[in-house]
Structure 1
């Protein structure tokens, strides 16, 4: 096992970065993007923390935003560092920029860079809190992949760090920037289907216990650093958790990091897709920053689907939203005057006149279709130097409007479309749903006080808070 032998990491756990060194300062001249000269004062310089498939996809979105430069990257896998560096420097050369992307194994070193304005956090969920909190303390704005955190308390501490340090944070819940979801939210809030009574939100299966066999750790991976704050002795290395790649010849990951599917390291589809679908449902019914007050797991008292009850009487269930298509992730809002269905690339309403012409007649994609579209999109993006074509259905992983909104807010200091409080409330909902499932009984929560209601067992659950492995601390 490769150990973290770097000196001074414990110092950085307290992030004494108020007096940052200038050793890594890089002076970049003005340059052109799509024929438009970008002055240094308007340029936004990014660093990437976590360099798997998601970071590559997100870079494709950022590459389409005028005035963006990438100066550095960080990962605990040295091969992923090298792959990312090659991608960035190829893009820079194609855009007549001086090709340079510095590589780091320790994100603390990247955060010491004075020339970096903002960072992307695309690490596994259990690293999001420390990466984001330390970035905020170091004066960086953050684009943090969803779900915002691994536990409830982590999300709450991230809100404090972002607001306390006057930073901009955009959560990677890119459906917020998509026209079909924005239209669905508008229709619900305008009363197009009357008073909302029920919501069906299909996200997928919850996490399962880790059942992968232990395998030898490859020399290019610092597994000890990958583990970070996780302290569960049942967690061990398996390539599915941190999918391997090769650089020469380039062979990319054959699957998404499976850490998300196991309860020791992730929150399953409950959070992976719940951070999208539950998020939109909350936005539509005006529950951003709040949430349900009761969580009932599937199977309790013979129930078929997990349910979440809001104080205003609305009940949201995790069940198929579209008859005859159980596998599609999406949402159905049911009101006393009609219904609305929405999924990626799809919007339908009981009143057809409410659906814009460009969205009418479409249908939601199945999981297999989305996977196929994703592979096609990746190949196309790579051929075009990682610059995606806009408007392609299924291109959510390179959603440049969502990235552009973040870059605009880095410049304006306004709140982005998916700010940290939104990510926190959605993450809390997902964690609470999994807590109720693991306890196999209802759990009651007060969104105003951010506390359980007379439930010490739930309050002690690891998804509310767990003890970090030393030397890490929250």
Structure 2
């Protein structure tokens, strides 16, 4: 009997005698014990954690968020309060849970009572904690993009798979019915032979030069920088100190690549679902892009990227297309987007139509997928699917290798923005063919002692 059903039946028998089960460490009874909850630690307590990941998990009774970690003590304390307030209100008990705080996530990973972690950190702090969590035997929910570089993404995927932990990437479009429906229709030939995919993805605007500032006492700035170069602090290149608005690190290449990875992994992941290329990649990539000529923000602005795949499909990505994915085949087209959905309050709202699913012929969308046709993985919600898979030990809808492959498309696109001409890519070897400059960008120097190069495994 699954833990969820056991708890439900037990609660019914008790006739309301127990408001909420006491936290019982998994080490007491084992992962499948009927009285056990999945005890979770939250790494990173910023915007995406507060608005999306923490609520995404604590809505499920089988999970218990019991610890938080952040290099900004103010945000860590806010995360603790947010969590405790939620459980207090839910249970009617003002002392429902005492959330532990860790200024260093590595100490959290030593806590054997914690079964799993959510990693909601900036992009340059994704791969290393995911690797270390896997080595500690923790299951992982990891915000996209998988990694800062192709090299560290490959290492992370290999370690996660070797350790046998359940890792779910936060590409939650896979749990949106319209993206699955579009991919199923395309995979089952409802628009004929697929030949072209057009992906709408905006760039970021430039900004002014931001002055050097004193480091806030609540921020461990050296640890926040992690493996990236040592630079002077300015708030606009880290995160807001007074609110949880969109952080400035998203617009600096030390910490990510801009929208090509920020939203790009969502769309490339979804497109690969429909293209049946989830475990491979393009064979060529070329791009043109505009970059700021001044100012502190330096990620790409307007751009276009072209990918060619071995199966004959060509993918174009640009901010000139509507935000979403348009599959074009010999017999019609299908367009899919998020509609009005936003993961966080500060996410930009798509311009124009918010129709989530459209086609050249409305009858295409009414088509029934037959019993013997391709049926894709069904998930109603990304965090819930992760928790289910922690129990069942089955692979989640967005496993690490699929995430790595989608992230790789983003990262080689960013490289193509910097290296002119058509770049030939070997998706099996994960190397560019006969281009040393492009290959040199598949990794970055890492500032000791931080970075995946210094993880012992």
Question: Please, what TM-score do these two structures have when normalized by structure 1?
Answer: 0.77
| Aligned-partner SS, 1:219 | coil
Show CA shifts across 1:22-60 (max 9, x none).
Answer: xxxxxxx99979999769534111101111011112111
**Are the counterparts in 2 of residues 210 and 263 from structure 1 also a CA contact under 8 Å?**
no
| Aligned-partner SS, 1:316 | strand
Partner of 1:319 in structure 2?
A: 318
Closer, same or farther: CA 167–347 of 1 in aligned 2, 3 Å: same
| CA distance in structure 2 between the aligned counterparts of 1:106 and 1:466, rounded to whole angstroms | 24
Closer, same or farther: CA 299–416 of 1 in aligned 2, 3 Å: closer
The answer to whether structure 1 residue 48 and structure 2 residue 42 are counterparts is yes
| Displacement after TM superposition at 1:417 (Å) | 0.2
The answer to which of 132-141 and 440-449 deviates more is 440-449
**Are the counterparts in 2 of residues 50 and 123 from structure 1 also a CA contact under 8 Å?**
yes
Show CA shifts across 1:253-305 (max 9, x none).
Answer: 2x3122122222211100111111111111111111211111111279xx983
Partner of 2:180 in structure 1?
A: 182
| Displacement after TM superposition at 1:87 (Å) | 0.8
**Are the counterparts in 2 of residues 46 and 116 from structure 1 also a CA contact under 8 Å?**
yes
**Are the counterparts in 1 of residues 199 and 321 from structure 2 also a CA contact under 8 Å?**
no
| Aligned-partner SS, 1:318 | strand
The answer to which of 212-221 and 331-340 deviates more is 212-221
| Aligned-partner SS, 1:469 | coil
Closer, same or farther: CA 453–32 of 1 in aligned 2, 3 Å: farther
| CA distance in structure 2 between the aligned counterparts of 1:258 and 1:55, rounded to whole angstroms | 16
Partner of 2:435 in structure 1?
A: 455
| CA distance in structure 1 between the aligned counterparts of 2:205 and 2:424, rounded to whole angstroms | 21
2:282 to 292, 295, 299: 292
1:199 to 197, 200, 210: 197
**Are the counterparts in 2 of residues 48 and 73 from structure 1 also a CA contact under 8 Å?**
yes
1:472 to 428, 450, 453: 450
| Displacement after TM superposition at 1:236 (Å) | 3.1
Aligned length: 388
Show CA shifts across 1:168-193 (max 9, x none).
Answer: 10000000000010101111101000
**Are the counterparts in 2 of residues 208 and 268 from structure 1 also a CA contact under 8 Å?**
no
Closer, same or farther: CA 94–327 of 1 in aligned 2, 3 Å: farther
| Displacement after TM superposition at 1:242 (Å) | 2.6
**Are the counterparts in 2 of residues 128 and 148 from structure 1 also a CA contact under 8 Å?**
yes
The answer to whether structure 1 residue 307 and structure 2 residue 306 are counterparts is yes
| CA distance in structure 2 between the aligned counterparts of 1:170 and 1:207, rounded to whole angstroms | 31
| CA distance in structure 1 between the aligned counterparts of 2:115 and 2:380, rounded to whole angstroms | 19
| CA distance in structure 1 between the aligned counterparts of 2:278 and 2:425, rounded to whole angstroms | 16
Partner of 2:360 in structure 1?
A: 350
Question: Please, what TM-score do these two structures have when normalized by structure 2?
Answer: 0.79
Partner of 2:261 in structure 1?
A: 271
The answer to whether structure 1 residue 158 and structure 2 residue 156 are counterparts is yes
What does residue range 312-391 of structure 1 map to in structure 2 within 5 Å? Answer: 312-319=311-318, 326=320, 328-345=322-339, 346-355=356-365
**Are the counterparts in 2 of residues 307 and 315 from structure 1 also a CA contact under 8 Å?**
yes
Partner of 2:397 in structure 1?
A: 417
Give the unaligned 5+ runs of structure 1.
1-28, 247-251, 321-325, 358-398
| Aligned-partner SS, 1:306 | strand
What is the RMSD computed on CA atoms of the aligned residues?
A: 2.7
The answer to whether structure 1 residue 230 and structure 2 residue 228 are counterparts is yes
| Aligned-partner SS, 2:39 | strand
Show CA shifts across 1:108-158 (max 9, x none).
Answer: 111011111110001111111111000000110100000111100111011
| CA distance in structure 1 between the aligned counterparts of 2:154 and 2:105, rounded to whole angstroms | 22
Closer, same or farther: CA 32–447 of 1 in aligned 2, 3 Å: farther
**Are the counterparts in 1 of residues 289 and 417 from structure 2 also a CA contact under 8 Å?**
no
**Are the counterparts in 1 of residues 41 and 67 from structure 2 also a CA contact under 8 Å?**
yes
Partner of 1:20 in structure 2?
A: none
| Displacement after TM superposition at 1:472 (Å) | 2.5
